[in-house]
Structure 1
């Protein structure tokens, strides 16, 4: 499948009981991964747990039945690290997918083994998908920004990081034929509008892979686009 969207069902750290304290949406689109995890319980409710844009690929030992994937981060809401981001996957009898690996646990401030359970969202036939990247050649003044917009069906993410460390994000969902904002992060409203404009519901034929399109006040490169 060229694109899919998944929500996380649970995570178990270091063999402890599985919990879910985030609302997590991950979109995997033609070799790109856009990921936004928002705390929905505990002391950090309403803040970002983790968010990334990454190139995703299989590594040695991966099989169709049990993929092993790695994510090479392009932007990351957390500080950069040299540790690899990778996990092995297996499909459960109910269709959910488990992921086993090691990653940073913000509650213990340490890297720990984990088991995550994911559920892939049902997508209608011909659901659209795309990834856009902001044309960085336009950046003249102020902090440099890397910005991405992604869509799979009725789900969309906008994620951006500035050279001074600020992270901007939103999550949208289609309701009654219009985009509805689910989450938004970033104290600078004007910067959000500038670097993470909303996607149109429908795209024209000009939105083809490799083309540059105008969206909001900026130009965006179409990294991939299509329909299921």
Structure 2
């Protein structure tokens, strides 16, 4: 199958190259993608674009493994940015377009043939619902509801791909929706109405009871297996531990994000210890085991851990990396250390949580409102508003980048995306300076659209020209670029490609990025 689909072949080679490069770098000091990995991923996306345009709608399902493999490359790279979301949305668009073009019988046949990709998509969608960047529109059903472990015969069946029972997918989606509702409620004047608060508390209790019932069920009988599945005693034990770790991870999300309990709460710390103790109890394990699936629950436990439990969580992630050489496990350990020290710097968000609610505006833009810690107010939480506007895709093959000054304490940022250029600069004792310029293709020149503050030491395309940036194709993330007389650190750089699936979807190929935050660990 790989040789028959060029996009899948190049994606598979990219994943193999990523693993091989990791084996060759025992001391991993950065998480930038190597040039060969980026090149193979770019080639895969180019082939995928052609295949989507020429393939019969009835056969598009066969391209889903390509998207899954590219997604895994993004996650396993350890970049910890948002590029994985592009592939998830692409898979969603492909599945939806396929469903509208083929019969139910053929759809069921494809689902059986591509069950791994289907389970990957369903699992990833559910885990992504736990992140803070997806708007949930599910309406809470009033009145009594059956527990999520009582949703049908297949609900308690163990999914060997994700490492937990299928009914946990529904739990993760419900937690994400409830957490989004909690976020909206907290942003309302006077914290909203008592009725909404009561409904949300009932929802949290229902979710907790559902997960507790799953834990009780599986502790008595073990996770159910599909009729055509068999496991050895050792394998069954390992999958049971993996399933239990995900169940307690779900409880942590309920306590922390829906009920808003502190990390020090007894319920939270009990879940942390149960995750760590159960995982430690099955060590050591071989490479071919659910061990590879445990990064997410270990990270979840480690994020809330206290005292010696932090050492346990980090040790498990490091041991997992040493065994499997998957970069995102090592990156997860680094992020945990940064979060424990309270100094996330560039790794996550130096000003604490920045969580908002998105509202669609009449012109198509998105209004984000919420609260965040403000450095100029001594870290005090204050309300904010931001407008998000989608930019048109840059031309195929164009370079976009983010640079940070290296000779003035990192107080200046320069960014280019297609025909847009932006500079921000702030120093002690001086107001913020900013410049935004756009390329005018008809006049063949850069035009300044916005200026504020002193611009003497900021590079302006309209004033200083483009000559200093001509070496951009030779830049690599983490390296130093010389622009004029200044030294700038390359924080991110990407090459753009475009694919069409009904509506236009942009697939950026990220060559390397220092992450502003982590949103999902798989």
Higher normalized helix content (fraction of residues): 2
TM superposition score normalised by structure 2: 0.24
Structure ranking higher in strand proportion? 1
Q: Normalized against structure 1, the TM-score is what?
A: 0.49
